[in-house]
Amino acid sequence: MKILLIGSGGREHALAWGLARSQKLSKLYVAPGNAGTNQLGENIPIGTENLSDLVQFARREQIDLTVVGPEAPIVAGIRDLFEREHLRIVAPTQKASFLEGSKVQAKAFMSRHGIPTARHASFESFEDAKRFARTMPPPIVIKADGLAAGKGVAIAQTHAEAEQILSEFMIAQKFGAASQRVVIEEFLVGKEFSLFVASDGVSWKFLGTAQDYKKLLDGDRGPNTGGMGSISPVPWLTERMLDETIQKIVEPTFAALAKENLSYEGILYFGLIWTERGPFVLEYNVRFGDPETQVLVPRFDFDLVELYRALAERRLKDFETKLAPRSAVCVVLASGGYPEHYEKGFFIEGLEKLTDPNVLVFHAGTALKDNKVITAGGRVLNVVGLGASIAEARQRAYTAIGQLSFPKMHYRRDIAA
């Protein structure tokens, strides 16, 4: 099979690694890819937002199947565009993408169908939002309505801070049109985790759990980022808790989609929190998570190409999604200054020294210069350790990090601690 994978981050390198392990893959193209995906397939210099060029490429190269990594092209309607051209693609429709594309609509959907989520209200007016925030006991959660690369959620510890965040979002438009509308919600106390499923529009299958670390600094301090690390499976999540989550959240979500005549095809990510009242939905994502994919894919005990084929051909019901009994820990190596201002173009030292088969390095923000790998983004590398336990996997990841370096390299030292 000739496969086109869309995206350029750590998630896409992990997916490319999984796809490249399949005997069914004849050729892999990645658009636009990074220095890591370049070792597994052919990078194509087409941006993820350039939908018409992606369609033309898929038609010209007679691509058998297109796999979409990031959310932006899904929300922009890439699935609908490819289908109109009779090109096979695995991604949700634009109509179903509201689950991630609009926090306001996703919250309304959960409220309509009684899916457990935090008490909330949505606003287009800064004055109304400010008034409502004053009625909420801090901490107060404020979310930009649209896509904000994982950075559109802020937690205000005081009413004054809430007002400042609302002003940044709605008046200064920190995230452009994405923060013109906001959701204000109660702060839920509990432990966060993510749950992933694949759906072909007829049936769905569980793909595993992970936990990511959003804050920049050790001890969960500092600003929110796109994620500084992740672990899988979630060590504190029991079978009973998992069953309850599926019963109270996953099954009702798919029942609600069916009730609204929405066929969901692709990957659905449930961002969850376990509270003293059980599981609640924090958010939906219409794709694999980043950096959670980096710890999920190495645990997949099935052929990833065959999974995507089963999704495209609507025969997921007969496909077995088994997970290997191993643990994975991912630590993100970021550029100094991330998530705000950072420099790029530094050479990365030590990649060739990593020979442990239980260590994987997935590139995120990298590029090639003079045949050497350089930094090209905020999150640069994902170092993944594998082991029989989280502790063993963690030790392998941090041992490998000791051999890597680039100027101003930053990472958390407490992932999976």
Half-sphere exposure of 233 (CA within 13 A, CB side): 16
What backbone phi and psi angles, to 5 degrees, belong to 297?
A: -55, -40
Question: pLDDT digit of tens for each residue in the chain (417 aa)?
Answer: 999 999 999 999 999 999 999 999 999 999 999 999 999 999 999 999 999 999 999 999 999 999 999 999 999 999 999 999 999 999 999 999 999 999 999 999 999 999 999 999 999 999 999 999 999 999 999 999 998 877 788 899 999 999 999 999 999 998 998 888 999 999 999 999 999 999 999 999 999 999 999 999 999 999 888 899 999 999 999 999 999 999 999 999 999 999 999 999 999 999 999 999 999 999 999 999 999 999 999 999 999 999 999 999 999 999 999 999 999 999 999 999 999 999 999 999 999 999 999 999 999 999 999 999 999 999 999 999 999 999 999 999 999 999 999 999 999 999 999
pLDDT at position 152, please? 86
3-class SS of residue 232: strand
DSSP letter at 137?
P
Sequence-separated (6 or more) residues with CB below 8 Å from residue 374: 35, 344, 345, 346, 347, 348, 366, 367, 368
Q: Are 349 and 372 in contact (CB under 8 A)?
A: no
Q: How far apart are CA 249 and CA 199, in angstroms?
A: 15
End-to-end Cα, the chain, rounded Å: 41
B/e letters for 149-182, b = 16+ CB within 10 Å, e = fewer, are ebebbbebeebebbbebbebbbeeebbeebbbbb
Q: How far apart are CA 413 and CA 398, in angstroms?
A: 8
pLDDT digits (tens, 9 = 90+) for 125-145: 999 999 999 999 999 999 999
Q: How far apart are CA 305 and CA 23, in angstroms?
A: 9
Q: Are 22 and 304 in contact (CB under 8 A)?
A: yes
Provide the H-helix boundaries in 115-188: 126-135, 159-166
Q: How far apart are CA 412 and CA 382, in angstroms?
A: 12
Q: Are 314 and 295 in contact (CB under 8 A)?
A: no
Radius of gyration of the chain (CA): 21
Q: Are 361 and 383 in contact (CB under 8 A)?
A: yes
| DSSP character string of 257-303 | HHHTT---EEEEEEEEEEETTEEEEEEEESS--TTTHHHHGGGB-S-
Sequence-separated (6 or more) residues with CB below 8 Å from residue 87: 55, 58, 59, 63, 66
Domains within the chain, CATH numbers bracketed: 2-95 (3.40.50.20), 119-186 (3.30.1490.20), 191-318 (3.30.470.20), 327-401 (3.90.600.10)
Half-sphere exposure of 288 (CA within 13 A, CB side): 25
Give the pTM. 0.95
pLDDT at position 147, please? 87
Cβ-based neighbour number of residue 347 at 10 Å = 13
pLDDT digits (tens, 9 = 90+) for 288-343: 999 999 999 999 999 999 999 999 999 999 999 999 999 999 999 999 999 999 99
3-class SS of residue 367: strand
Side chain identity, residue 15:
L
What backbone phi and psi angles, to 5 degrees, belong to 334?
A: -115, 165
Pick from 281, 10, 167: nearest CA to 154 = 167
Sequence-separated (6 or more) residues with CB below 8 Å from residue 189: 275, 276
Q: How far apart are CA 30 and CA 46, in angstroms?
A: 9
| DSSP character string of 178-219 | GGSSEEEEEPPPSEEEEEEEEEESS-EEEEEEEEE--EEETT
Rounded to the nearest 10 degrees, the angle between the axes of helix 304-312 and helix 10-20 is: 100
